[in-house]
Amino acid sequence: MSEERAPDRVVGIDLGTTNSLVAYMEGSEPIVIPGVDGSNLVPSIVALDVVDPAAENARPTVTVGNSARRALIENPERAIYSVKRLMGRGLEDVQDELKLFPFHLAEDIEAGEVLRIRLGDKTFTPSEISAYILRQLKRNAERYFGAPVTRAVITVPAYFNDAQRQATRDAGRMAGLDVLRLVNEPTAAALAYGLDRAKEGLIAVYDFGGGTFDISILKLNDGIFEVIATNGDTHLGGDDIDNLLLAVALDEIGNEHGIELRQQPDAIQALRKAVIEAKITLSSEPAVKLDIELPGGGRYQREIPREIYEQLIQPVLARTAAPCKQALADAGVTPGQIEELVLVGGSTRIPAVRVLVDQLFELSARGKKPHTELNPDEVVALGAAVQASILAGSSTTTEELLLLDVTPLSLGIEALGGVVAKIIQRNSTIPASATEHFTTGVDGQTNVAIHVLQGERELAADCRSLARFDLKGIPPMTAGLPRIEVKFLIDANGILQVTAREQRSGTESQIEVKPTYGLTDEQVESMILDSFDNAEADFEVRQVIEARLEADTILAAVEKAPTSPAWQQISDHEKSQIETARQHLIATKLSGDLQAIRAATTALDHATRNFAEKMMEAAVSGAMRGKTMQAASEELDATAPAEVSAPHPFAPAEFEESR
């Protein structure tokens, strides 16, 4: 049982709607791995970099996270947030999303096809966008360990269906990760809390995140975390609150100032940012003031008291009640039987949410409080790290723990009349299987089509299409004679596998899967190779970007040079040398040649060395007499790169207020 791979770390990843995190088990405790900027949270924002048109075979490169935030406001058509809302979905499903989110889809998407999103002049599937986020997290972990990271556990909402799970797993593969397991987010949170094996009893996890809501009821017993029932809404989260506030603001601005901002994507994003900050403030303050500069110079100023805010968002919060009641009913327990309640997700910081949860689960009535000891933004990633450790067998703390999860949706087959025959019930512990028998309707028929769906409704039209399976290679026989045994197996990731055998002849039928809203294995493979090529080229590309930015710094300073009094003090010969070096650097910058750019930068630096000294002297001895060297050099620095625009992946990011 010895490992042949070089030992590498296994990490847990929370791929969230709003923020993503990567964590691992350090000794007996899971910890979150920070990014370059020291932040634990990587915003799930991806921006397509402006590609240098002069560079040959320019591959698309992207910026992820905090650095991409600015692009949302400055270049909204090249940036995307909340891509999780599009994973595993089709055109028909996302019409509501399209009204509220600035997603730009390709024009030619067919029904049942995977979505393609436009960023700039390129298109990406949701899995590819998510893969960029995963790759950033992978890099953060590798930087932290100083070693490669290739294996991960990735979390998904418990209520994600098969297509959504496959899309997540595909994203992992594209990012170069071996996805050991997809873990349901509430279950992961329970793991993080229940690490202490002494915890026993019935617990509920209320997970209200940026885009999805899950409620899970679990039984903890001697290190076994057994999910009894789960329910949720994959179209419900903090984003919906943001959109409500945004809509109100847009309407008021329209009415009060006569400005219709809805046509201005960059203004909308700026407003959205302000509205989100206000929302966060209202979790701890009784009121907040919005004060936004409008195009044209006016200001939109509005005070929002918490009571008004709560009235406004009540319908969104109320949507979490029905899934809770259904989960309790499916589990066969009353609210009073729930011993512990765990709050997960940034949206559970909202006081009105805590009031609702308290009512739904009769907490304070029984002298109980919900658990919030672990940071609700981080607890899922921490739990994923615990599961990663269980799978890797890397910690004695976790070796006896076991997660028993369930499938959230019933699995069925479309039968005659468009009715669904359920073959695996929702909340069945996974892995779970069912065996069904099919036969042919026509003499000599060599294949049989099966339509598999997920959902609780009676009619196929009201359920989620999972995939169409074509069973091929059936030996030709009289109609009704073949006995094709089809085995449906939902694996530990909650993803369906299908095998089939024609029993009379004993032949295994080949199965061709047409996943709905998904990618075939071949398509995913091709996307991996593209990403892989990018990865190798990427390091160099990053270096070139860095070198160009350095070049820009010095060019900007040199461009300002003639305005400095010291410029008069240098010879014409020197000026012309500086100008030659400057032109040379500008030309070299356009090439992708790292060494050439660096050489040209150094050359310009040398050419301006004397001038720079003179500038310093002028600053010190001239109008700024009396200032310290520090101030003088700051004055000099002030001519430096405020104008440089391309957000550099390794640039010190603006420190956002973390949630």
Partner 1 sequence: MSESLDSILKLDSDYFQVFGLPRAFALGTPTLEGDFHRLSRRLHPDRFARASAEEQQWSLAATALLNDAYRTLRDPIQRTEYLLKLEGLQIGEEHAGKGKAADRQPPPDLLEEVFELNMQLEEMRMNQKMGEPDPSLQADLAAARSRFESLLAAVDSDLATRGAEWDTGDVTTRDKASKAMAALLDRRRYLRNLVRGVNEVLAA
Q: Which residues bind partner 1 (CB under 8 A)?
A: 1, 3, 180-181, 221-222, 224, 226, 387, 390-393, 400, 402-404, 413, 415-417, 419, 421, 428-434, 489-492
Nearest distance from C-beta of residue 402 to partner 1, angstroms: 6
Nearer of residues 308 and 459 to partner 1, judged by Cβ: 459
Q: How far is the CB of 481 from partner 1 (least distance, A)?
A: 16
| Active-site residue (options: 49, 84, 239, 552) | 84
DSSP tag of 443? T
Of residues 404 and 651, the one with the C-beta less far from partner 1:
404
Whose tokens are 């945004």? That residue is: 246
Does 605 participate in catalysis according to the annotation?
A: no
What's the rounded Cα separation, in Å, for the pair 138 and 543? Answer: 19
Is 242 an annotated catalytic residue?
no
Distance set, CA 228 to CA 190, 261, 327, 428 (Å): 13, 47, 9, 8
Annotated catalytic residue 84:
yes
Rounded to an integer, what distance in angstroms lies between the CA atom of residue 98 and that of residue 86? 10
In the chain, what's the furthest Cα-to-Cα distance? Answer: 104
**What are phi and psi for residue 197, nearest 5 degrees?**
-65, -15
Closer to partner 1 by CB, 80 or 180: give it.
180
- CA torsion 484-424-494-342 (nearest 10°) is 180
- Residues 79, 119 contacting (CB under 8 angstroms): yes
φ/ψ (deg, to 5) at 319: -65, -10
Query: In the complex with partner 1, which residue's Cβ is closer, 393 or 565?
Result: 393
Instruction: Give least dist CB 280 to partner 1, A.
Output: 37
Q: Which is nearer to partner 1, 213 or 488 (CB)?
A: 488
Q: How many CB atoms lie within 10 A of CB 391?
A: 16
Q: β-strand 507-508 against 496-502: which pairing, if any?
A: antiparallel
Task: In angstroms, give the least distance from the CB of 8 to partner 1.
Answer: 13
Q: What is the DSSP track for 417-434?
A: GGEEEEEE-TT-BSSEEE
Q: Which residues of 472-499 are buried (b: 16+ CB within 10 A; e: fewer)?
A: eebeebeeeebebebebbbbebbbbebe
Query: Which of left, alpha, beta for 480 (phi over 0: left; psi -120 to 50: alpha)?
Result: left
Q: Which is nearer to partner 1, 402 or 587 (CB)?
A: 402
What's the closest the beta carbon of residue 429 comes to partner 1, in angstroms?
Answer: 5
Select which of 97, 162, 170, 185 is catalytic: 185
- Measured in whole angstroms, the distance separating CA 358 from the mean position of its chain's CA atoms is 30
Query: Which residue, 226 or 310, has its beta carbon nearer to partner 1?
Result: 226
CB of 531 to partner 1, least distance (A): 24
Catalytic-residue membership of 530: no
- At closest approach, how far in Å is the CB of 514 from partner 1? 22
Q: What are the catalytic residues?
A: 14, 84, 185, 207
